[in-house]
Amino acid sequence: MDLYTYFNEEEAEEGSCNWAIKAYSQPSREREKKEFCVQRKKKTKNRFFTPEKMVGPSRPQFVFFGSSIVQLCFSHGGWGSVLSDIYSRKADILLRGYYGWNSRRAIQVLDQVFPKEAPVQPSLVIVYFGGNDSMGPHSSGLGPHVPLNEYIENMRKIAIHLKSLSDTTRIIFLSCPPVDETRVGSGLSGIFSELIRTNELCQNYSNACIKLCQEMGVEVVDLFSAFQKRDDWTKACFTDGVHLSAEGSKIVVEEILKVLREAEWVPSLHWKSMPTEFSEDSPYYLVTADGKRTLNPSEWTFHREVQWD
């Protein structure tokens, strides 16, 4: 199968499969469809499946897993888009970000997002949960708040699961960053109840995440401290007091690259240490001024606003 497929177990029990994409052209489609249905009992209801390889060559996979700071990491010059540029031709970036989620919600889907039986496991997983967990509890019992002790145990479960994927899956946790309390308090639209989001709470959850990672041997980025190294962080680092601006994302990228550069991982996952895909010289590149050779652009970085180390 060379396209995403959608499997509905109830329909399969009746001998048919509901295929989300029906752009078939190869003669073997009907045979593939039957084979897929035969395996229905092994599959989870209403789950997306992909073949082991959609396109080649295979690259290391970096997965970003977290709440809105992950989901939005390709917006506003976000840290995800910057890392995708840095790792172009080196790794495939996969985004698993979910607006509004907390660690309690995350552990409910760990097996779906990171199935242990997957034929290919990620080389790197960057995890962020904590901002929503750290919000004060709502009187109704609803809302994203997760008590600190439960948050710690949830993050522990995430780390244990990711460590079990493979011996070469590396993990980086991002701790809870600070917020601009003034904008958070004044920016409510009337749609939401009062948001209890303070830097005291953010720091408590950040410290707890860092301590857990130190205990478990997991690399961690202290975003709470990193942001506040900049004097104008409340104005420069956020779009709305919580979510990251391009300047805030630059801090995240810098801190992640620092971990990747200093970690004693074999193989290294720092971009300068990873091979560049199809980096060999070619007579089809642009010709030099003397007309005697071509220039290989495979490693060019001059287009970047920041020359990352």
The catalytic residue positions are: 67, 240, 243
Q: Strand pairing of 124-128 and 219-221?
A: unpaired
Give dist(CA 220, CA 173) in Å, integer: 5
Question: Which residues, 6+ apart, have CB-to-CB distance to 68 below 8 Å?
Answer: 97, 98, 99, 100, 101, 131, 132, 243
Provide the strand spans (E) within 27-178.
47-49, 61-66, 92-97, 124-128, 170-174
Give dist(CA 262, CA 104) in Å, integer: 31
> Do residues 239 and 245 touch, judged by C-beta distance below 8 A?
yes
Question: Which residues, 6+ apart, have CB-to-CB distance to 272 below 8 Å?
Answer: none
β-bridge partners, 96: 65
Phi-psi region of 130 (alpha: psi -120 to 50; beta: other; left: phi over 0): left
Provide the strand spans (E) within the chain.
5-7, 47-49, 61-66, 92-97, 124-128, 170-174, 219-221
> Do residues 28 and 60 touch, judged by C-beta distance below 8 A?
no
